Amino acid sequence: MKLQYPLPQTLALVLCYIQLAFATDSSYQRVEHLDKVPDGWSRGDRPLASELIKFRLAITQHNAGEFEQKVIELSTPGHASYGRHMKRDEVKNFLSPSLAISDQVIAWLRSEKVPTSSIKLDGHWVSFTVPVSQAEQLLKTEFFYFHQQDQQSIAIRTLGYSVPRALHPHIQLIQPTTRFGNLVPQRSSTFERPKPATPEQLAAGCNTAITPDCLRDLYGIDNTTTRPEWQNRLGISGFLEQYARHDDFNDFLRRYAQNHTDADFSVVSINGGQDDQHSMADSVEANLDVQYSIPLADEVLATFYSTGGRGPLVPELNYPDPTNSSNEPYLEQLHYLLNLPDEELPAVLSNSYGEDEQSLPPSYVNATCSLFAQLGARGVSILFASGDSGPGSTCVRNDGTNQTRFLPAYPASCPFVTTVGGTHRINPERAVSFSGGGFSEVFPRPQYQDQAVKSYLHHLGSRWNGLYNATGRGYPDISAQAASFIVRDHGEWVSVRGTSASTPVVAGVISRLNSARLAQGFTDIVLGSSSGCNWTSRNAPPRVRNASWDATEGWDPATGLGTPLFRTLVKLALSDDHM
């Protein structure tokens, strides 16, 4: 629950000190700075001094390492803490900054005459609203209107900001400041534009067209009866103005899930997200997610979270124009979910979206990954698509060096989410060529991956040396079918492929198992490989010939540990060792 921050008497002394200590610009230290206006944007006039901006400030978590270790322990079978998920208030209290630090931050805001009624402290996050003129004084910067080229959109932003030197170690980020988010959707992680499904595809077997029945047969999903339970809610994330259409959902059930024609989903709006059932805009991603996750989950309480807004962007070669990015508003959704009562949280959260890890500010990547960890601590299984560019698309750094490098995806690279890769074909399954995978440049490899990943690196040898971070978090963790999915969209049948298809499949399986344990019970995929670094543009990026990750015995960055065997997972989920 968000609380208005009080101004106790003891804070008055701190306030007096802050006013003296932070009285000059020389006592400020830069937090973030962009060397130039991002490509695709142009700087315009100054905004009105009275225009209001709502800011979010993240206080640095000085006990983040301790918390992350706790999350690992409660997620590790055999550990004494396994399965003992934390309550909402436990998480918040564990991560809340010391009173001295939060008092300093609040006192600084008060010293700059930020209204007490505007300041809200929520764990280690502080929100406040001030006019432009006050924000400029507060952050020792200047705000401008920035215009998105070829668009009608404008945003009030700055190229850098500073905070008092004494507070600098305690402030992780303040947004919106240097955040130049995309305002027009381009794509999710679906690999290609959906194609109309032909009559032959609709009538074909599973090697040509994937349906829920194909997936049940392939992964041994039997007719185990379940009943809706509040402890086993299925959450499906919707971003970029994608709306799951009830008419399409019902049509799909009547044709491909006739035993589940009474299934339905509710819609929750976050940050102004809509539920426009008559929108003519693209909705294939949202429809794909609900049409496959819900029937595979069987009887489940399903919620589609329609989240409005855009996340921050660091320009890169793949998306030199921010209008071509698809950064999703994870921060807005995560704050909403983390403030839900424990009984209203989804047990499984399916996300079919992502972007290059390097396209996001590091402070934003770390802050959002920490929030994913907090959801995990409360028992939420968070799934993300691994992406559809193999080891990377352009394979070029965006730090000005133009260095050739495999490009990991985010949030797929966050060690506190389960990342889903892609396979195709039947008997045997093979890694699909576009299945995203690799090693994070931001997050080190967690201990739980050491044995499996080291085995793969030994197999890999010197191949691709210098193109990836061998000590980074490896992904994906698991995989499922990702090609030739039949989907109903805007009253038509279309064929879709991408790891955005495999993710709701795994979400349905896990939901059906009620947050089943994924430590064992997989069909190991040892055939096929992913490929990438073959994306080209007018920027003519360098390519890596035959760039790929091979599928091997054990874990690999093409398919993870493999695909789920439902019957084995049921036994594991119900065994004494996994209760």
Please report whether residue 139 resides in a domain: yes
The per-residue pLDDT for 198 is 65
- Residue 538 DSSP label: T
The per-residue pLDDT for 185 is 30
Task: Indicate which residue of 289, 298, 477, 550 is catalytic.
Answer: 289
The per-residue pLDDT for 130 is 94
Both 320 and 397 in a single domain?
yes
Evaluate if residue 200 carries a pLDDT over 90: no
With 0-12 / 13-18 / 19 or more C-beta atoms within 10 angstroms meaning exposed / middle / buried, residue 25 is: exposed
Evaluate if residue 327 carries a pLDDT over 70: no
Both 328 and 470 in a single domain?
yes
Which of 222 and 87 is assigned the larger pLDDT?
87
Nearest Cα to Cα of residue 480 among 220, 188, 197 = 220
Rounded to the nearest integer, the mean pLDDT of the chain is: 80
Nearest Cα to Cα of residue 487 among 218, 210, 203 = 210
Please report whether residue 183 resides in a domain: no
Both 528 and 478 in a single domain?
yes
Tokens of 1: 């629950």
Average pLDDT of the residues in 81-85? 87
Is 316 a residue of the active site? Answer: no
Tokens of 376: 């995990």
Q: What digits encode the pLDDT tens for the residues 104-147?
A: 999 999 999 999 999 999 989 998 999 999 999 999 999 999 88
The per-residue pLDDT for 332 is 82
Task: Indicate which residue of 282, 285, 429, 477 is catalytic.
Answer: 285
The per-residue pLDDT for 390 is 66
Both 156 and 209 in a single domain?
no
Q: What digits encode the pLDDT tens for the residues 84-94?
A: 899 999 999 99
Is 229 a residue of the active site? Answer: no
Tokens of 109: 């805001």
Total tally of structural domains belonging to the chain: 2
Q: What digits encode the pLDDT tens for the residues 347-403?
A: 999 999 887 888 777 888 898 899 999 999 999 999 999 987 666 667 777 777 778
* Residue 146 structural domain: 3-62+97-175
Nearest Cα to Cα of residue 373 among 415, 431, 335, 340 = 415
CA dist., res. 477 & res. 351, Å (int)? 15
Is the dihedral angle over the CA atoms 305, 375, 313, 412 positive or is it negative?
negative
Q: What digits encode the pLDDT tens for the residues 536-550?
A: 444 445 455 555 556
Is 68 a residue of the active site? Answer: no
Please report whether residue 455 resides in a domain: yes
User: Which stretch of 156-160, 462-466, 554-558 has the lowest confidence by average pLDDT?
Assistant: 554-558
pTM attached to this predicted model: 0.82
Task: Indicate which residue of 500, 502, 529, 548 is catalytic.
Answer: 500
Evaluate if residue 2 carries a pLDDT over 60: no
Cα Dmax for the chain? 77
Q: Indicate the residue among 175, 208, 234 that finishes a domain.
A: 175
Both 443 and 510 in a single domain?
yes
Both 129 and 259 in a single domain?
no
Q: What is the CATH number of the domain that holds 402?
A: 3.40.50.200
Evaluate if residue 16 carries a pLDDT over 60: no
Evaluate if residue 467 carries a pLDDT over 60: yes
The per-residue pLDDT for 356 is 81
